[in-house]
Amino acid sequence: MLVTYLEASRDLCETESILFDAALAVCRIIGAKVSTAGRATGHSSAIPAWRRRIEERIAKARALIGRLICFRSGNNRPRIVRTVRMAFAGTNVSLSQPDITQKLTERIDDLKQRIAAWGKRIRRYTERSTRFNQNRLFQSDQKRLYESLERPMVSGTGPAPNQADTVAFWRGLWSEPVNHSEGPWTEVVASQCAGITPMDPVIITPDNVAEAVRRAPNWKSTGLDGLHHYWLKGFMVCHSVLA
């Protein structure tokens, strides 16, 4: 069955999709746990639980600061007063005492210091997590590490480019005739290279493909296709198509 689909594939992308579907079918038949969430989408951008908790504390503290400032400015609405009472719960501070303005200022400064400390904690944890992930990626797949350092991942949440504008942009680069300046040195180089024997065409055989995948690690981190080398070794019928 796999041979029929592989022979009908028109390009490498279709061949890869067929092999991935075959690998997924095998995993489902044998009951293996499969995760395809990261296939062709890069790493997950989910916010860690610890960061969400700290960010929630920061948001609540900022909201409390805003209400304390409103009360200090003379806003005595019931909701504001109730929030201020809760902020001083468990202390001997009364809203009717003479130095309440000073107590409000001290409480606001304390909350601002806590927000600054929480922000530093997020930065410290993030830097530590980044170092840990980079060290682990260096041990498993150095190529992906260097690619991520040279080309940082960007979020794909922005609007998609307009198709007509994209076609017009590249058509303006590749479809318009261009007159290049041909210097005399090009003729000299062409005459010098005239006697060079062209390289024989490279012929890739199924045995070459089998030998290449034989030396590859079975379960090393995959690329964007999500297909491990193990399946290229197991599905030997694909070697002739890949060649």
66-92, pLDDT tens digit by residue?
989 998 888 888 888 888 888 888 788
Q: Are residues 2 and 71 in the same domain?
A: no
Q: Is residue 83 part of a domain?
A: yes
Q: Are residues 95 and 130 in the same domain?
A: yes
Q: Are residues 56 and 83 in the same domain?
A: yes
Tokens representing 31 are: 């009951």
Mean pLDDT for 232-237 is: 84
Mean pLDDT for 166-174 is: 84
Q: Are residues 141 and 67 in the same domain?
A: yes
Residues 218 and 14: their CA atoms lie apart, in Å, by 22
Q: Is residue 187 part of a domain?
A: no
Q: Which of 20-24, 157-161, 193-197, 234-238 has the lowest mean pLDDT?
A: 157-161
Mean pLDDT for 93-99 is: 83
Residues 179 and 100: their CA atoms lie apart, in Å, by 80
Q: Is residue 155 part of a domain?
A: no
CA angle 82–87–89, rounded 5-degree value = 90
Residues 106 and 85: their CA atoms lie apart, in Å, by 15
- pLDDT-based confidence at residue 40 (cuts at 50, 70, 90): very low
Q: Are residues 30 and 69 in the same domain?
A: no
Q: Is residue 176 part of a domain?
A: no
Q: Are residues 71 and 14 in the same domain?
A: no
Domain residues for the domain of 29 are 1-35+202-243
Q: Are residues 73 and 119 in the same domain?
A: yes
Give the residue from 130, 145, 160 where a domain finishes. Answer: 145
What percent of the chain lies above the pLDDT cut of 70? Answer: 92
pLDDT of amino acid 152: 60
Q: Is the pLDDT of residue 96 over 70?
A: yes
pLDDT of amino acid 42: 44
- pLDDT-based confidence at residue 43 (cuts at 50, 70, 90): very low
Q: Are residues 58 and 99 in the same domain?
A: yes
CA angle 8–14–18, rounded 5-degree value = 80
Q: Are residues 208 and 125 in the same domain?
A: no
Residues 145 and 220: their CA atoms lie apart, in Å, by 14
Domains in the chain, number: 2
pLDDT of amino acid 55: 94
